[in-house]
Amino acid sequence: MKKIIKKHPLAIRWFHWINFPVLAVMIWSGLLIYWANDIYRLGWGDRTLVKFFPQSFYDTLHVPFKLSQGMAFHFFFMWLFFVNGFLYVAYTFVSGEWRYLLPNRHSFKEAWFVVLHDLHVRKTAQPQDKYNAAQRVAYSAIIVMGFGSLITGLAIYKPVQFGWLCALCGGYEFARIIHFALTIGYVLFFLVHIIQVVLAGWNNFQAMVTGFEVVKKDAIIEEVVEQKNDDNL
């Protein structure tokens, strides 16, 4: 006999796996749109460190001259992205899952220790609830980012009808910059997420499909004791 713990509710697994391809389509179609006026870069003065994006990158992904297609896809999938994201946030609040996800006052400091531990700079692991502090910060930040994409997206999409929103985002041009930067943020999040999932191993990954995680009994006791001690401190 083994012990299993229910980790991810069915609803959250759905939201997660719907969001993944929908966000991928949003990023791809956004790239088709961005290509038509690809003015962003990292650098100063005449010096450019990174150009968004090099021609070879566009050519590899068959980006050029698909602005109208990009817009058509973007303005269809935006609804799926919005509805799925909205339901996810609503669900986490109604179900109480938010307790595992929202950072508390210790999270930011602890998240830093988690990062140091993961980079093998610090030996001691942080006590882990369902999610560690770094996960709490990351998974909450990604929701704030998603909200930011919706707001800036609407500001660019209807800058006259939602003029107040556009002004709130720092104007049309700045809203477009934020919208772009957030997208780069998703890509970076995705890269770290994949690396972490690979490092965490099969048991962790399969929980996002099956919903449960297999736990060694003494591991549970150990964790619970550790957590209890932590609470008593």
Partner 1 sequence: MSSNYFDKKGSEVSSKEIRRRTVVSFSVFIVLLGVGFFAWSKLYNQPQSADNVQPFLRASLQANERIFSRLYSANKQTKSFKKTDAVARVRVNGDVGMDTAFDYAKWKLKVVRKPGDTLFISLAEIRALPKTEIVFDFKCVEGWSQVTHWGGVRFDEFMKKYNLAPEEAMKYVGMVTPDGQYYVGVDMPSMLQPQTLLCYEMNGKPLPLDQGYPLRLIIPVKYGIKHLKRIGVMSFSNDKPKDYWAEQGYDYYAGL
Residues that bind partner 1 (CB under 8 A): 1-7, 17, 21, 25, 33-34, 36-37, 39, 67-69, 71-73, 75-76, 96, 99-100, 129-130, 158-161, 163, 167, 172-173, 176, 206, 209-212, 214-215, 220, 223-224, 227, 231
- Decide whether 14 or 190 has the Cβ nearer to partner 1: 14
Beta carbon of residue 233, minimum distance to partner 1 (angstroms, whole number):
13
How many Cβ atoms from other residues are within 10 Å of residue 201's Cβ? 9
**Cis ω for the linkage preceding 53 (within 30 of 0):** yes
80/115 with CB nearer partner 1: 80
Nearer to partner 1, 2 or 120 (CB): 2
d(CA 173, CA 149): 14
Q: Which two tokens stand for residue 124?
A: 């001691």
Q: Which is nearer to partner 1, 111 or 116 (CB)?
A: 111
Nearest distance, CB of residue 174 and partner 1, angstroms: 11
CB of 5 to partner 1, least distance (A): 4
Per-residue tokens: 125: 């692991």
CB of 83 to partner 1, least distance (A): 14
- Select 70 or 85, whichever has its Cβ closest to partner 1: 70
Nearer to partner 1, 116 or 196 (CB): 196
Min dist CB 196 to partner 1, Å, is 18
Distance CA 13, CA 22 (A): 14
Hey, is 214 helix, strand or coil? strand
Judging by beta carbons within 10 Å of its beta carbon (0-12, 13-18, 19+), is residue 52 exposed, middle or buried? middle
Report helix, strand or coil for 212. Answer: strand
Contacts of 207 (CB under 8 A, 6+ apart): 7, 8, 213
Phi, psi dihedrals of residue 49, rounded to the nearest 5°: -85, -50
CB of residue 220 to partner 1, shortest distance in Å: 6
